Structure 1
């Protein structure tokens, strides 16, 4: 064991903290990071308080913008207000021939460092998907529109834009000059290199840095970036359960990466969510300290949350509610040791409640993506717990 000059064990050095690494131990001693907690109402209340979740009630002034049929699917585009910012746009997809109330699933779009598009990343409307969307799907979703594929299995699937994405994105004109100026600089460099950026790529560069600004505003207002996103997802879940074609007692949430963080928070905070599937977004927090912090969104780091619990505790906060966590073994954004630690912790929570069968932790040999085989695994799991109608 390495020792310091005073004969004490040397503090661990973290790659992105360097000489400041002792801050970790000091903070842990002062605040009690990642405490040992158990699922239940107290934990859920603590998570809600740490996030500063706003109470948005149900969506207001819901409008059906258009309807269409695409072969075996019926689609609707709906919009609503959450009381601030532009109207939320959402797609609702369901099997064309199904009758009676069906299970509902909130398909939550990912982050992916791309905010020009939201719901379109995983859901097809009546128009062809943009090439930028098709490229993202090839990289992250096996080329599929996941929401449409899930609807074909027999669910009413809701896919909505959320705070800062798609119809809910900030216009460049409202971003600080420094943020837009940085994106402009990157566009000029790309042009000089013979790789010009289109409007979408230019916007996404700005939006990536703008998230830090938005997170500051959220903190100033007593909430958090994750808290605002969670509030909008909670409102969307209320809308889905209120639809006459949805069986309100059979509603699930599913998401990859940033969408997985959204699913985890929604599953923790909403007792009306029956089953939650989190794809490639779970690790113990302590394992992220060594060079895995920078890659992630503010959705994963609500200030103050780590003094109340670890991230796996959030994911399992409503145990024994059915939970699927998919761990991508070759995920470049999460260390395998952290995934394994999270799996052990979640398993412990479910065993302690005598419900180990309600938790499925699946390790798959992929990188950070929601591959077709993994989608089918998740669809089958949702079928077991929600009773999808297609067979």
Structure 2
């Protein structure tokens, strides 16, 4: 055979069989620790930024909440901005906090109700549904970091070629891979720095912090939650699937691919590292890039993981009538209620 279709299928099946064998040979906890270590190694690490003090860039009073913008740094020589949304009355008590991580688009402004130029967006929300605003209006302090490669964080090299370049994912991913690092690793490092900042805010109860991510933001959110148990509850929307039914079957942005990761586990088992902490999975019935059949298969595997952990009630799912977008029809209130009960 000249074509490699059969080779790819065989290699995938061999990897899955190796996962089964490894799971059977180890204790449940031993397998979890091995996978957590493998995930951390696969995404890689970056030199931490030492001595960097957060800078408040702006404060704007909004309808029912204060919107701040702060500058943070997770790795030496690189900083990033994040919006912090604080409900009115937050000073009277410590509230739950949420990491809100956007996907492909024009950055954190897209989820905090702003247009690309920073002006208010009074139109109909797009696929991100201004979800950070939805969360703050439910009484949670929200931090929405700018994910590197989008909006104001696109590379100069890409903007010089095309001022309307949608992202810098390709250039960032390929060059970091050549350096033995990954874009997921960089993005996760910055989200975890946003977590550090959120946990230190006086309005936030550091024992009640969750995360909600959409699409590529859900990828970052699951990795961050798998590696850091300070994240007590997670909503993943427009992402949960199997590698085989999603990024192997559909053309995806290169930022979805982590070298060597499938040698260790399929995606549901990796997401399962969040167990037994509460997890909500949301998917559009007609999502073209994370197909619903793959979502159902992954959700079933995750249910089995949660049952083995004695936490079957901590996993919930919602398949809504829609495409690749956020719904929030159940997940927003689920996150509020879950963090309020912690």
Relative to the length of structure 2, the TM-score reads 0.87
User: Residues 74-113 of structure 1: matches in 2 within 5 Å?
Assistant: 74-84=66-76, 86-98=78-90, 99-111=92-104
- CA–CA distance in structure 1, aligned partners of residues 184 and 292 of structure 2: 24
In the other structure, the counterpart of 1:214 is 172
In the other structure, the counterpart of 2:59 is 67
Name which of 312, 316, 319 aligns with 1:356: 312
Contact 1:56 1:235 in 2 (8 A): no
Name which of 87, 105, 125 aligns with 1:138: 125
Q: Structure 1's 268 and 329: CA in aligned 2 closer, same or farther, altered over 3 A? A: same
CA shift for structure 1 position 60: 2.2
- Secondary structure of 1:88 counterpart: strand
- Secondary structure of 1:327 counterpart: strand
- CA–CA distance in structure 2, aligned partners of residues 161 and 86 of structure 1: 12
1:160 aligns with 2:113: no
CA shift for structure 1 position 229: 1.0
Q: Structure 1's 159 and 34: CA in aligned 2 closer, same or farther, altered over 3 A? A: farther
In the other structure, the counterpart of 2:253 is 297
Contact 1:59 1:82 in 2 (8 A): no
- CA–CA distance in structure 2, aligned partners of residues 148 and 299 of structure 1: 26
- CA–CA distance in structure 2, aligned partners of residues 344 and 229 of structure 1: 28
- CA–CA distance in structure 2, aligned partners of residues 170 and 386 of structure 1: 37
User: Residues 1-391 of structure 1: matches in 2 within 5 Å?
Assistant: 19-28=3-12, 31=15, 35-36=19-20, 37=23, 40-54=32-46, 56=48, 60-84=52-76, 86-98=78-90, 99-111=92-104, 114=105, 117-124=106-113, 138-141=125-128, 144-171=129-156, 174-175=157-158, 180=161, 183=162, 199=163, 202-204=164-166, 207=167, 210-288=168-246, 291-292=249-250, 294=251, 296-370=252-326, 374-387=327-340
- Matched residue pairs, number? 333
- Segments of structure 1 that go 5 or more residues without pairing to the other structure are 5-17, 184-198
Contact 1:79 1:87 in 2 (8 A): yes
- CA–CA distance in structure 2, aligned partners of residues 127 and 333 of structure 1: 25
In the other structure, the counterpart of 1:7 is none
- CA–CA distance in structure 2, aligned partners of residues 127 and 22 of structure 1: 45
- Secondary structure of 2:72 counterpart: strand
Contact 1:64 1:77 in 2 (8 A): yes
CA radius of gyration, larger in:
1
Q: Structure 1's 34 and 376: CA in aligned 2 closer, same or farther, altered over 3 A? A: farther
CA shift for structure 1 position 21: 0.7
Backbone CA RMSD of aligned residues: 2.9
User: Can you list the C-alpha shifts for 1:65-86, whole angstroms capped at 9, x where unaligned?
Assistant: 1222113111211112233455
- Secondary structure of 2:61 counterpart: strand
- CA–CA distance in structure 2, aligned partners of residues 134 and 59 of structure 1: 39
Relative to the length of structure 1, the TM-score reads 0.77
CA shift for structure 1 position 166: 3.2
Q: Structure 1's 58 and 354: CA in aligned 2 closer, same or farther, altered over 3 A? A: farther
Contact 2:233 2:335 in 1 (8 A): yes
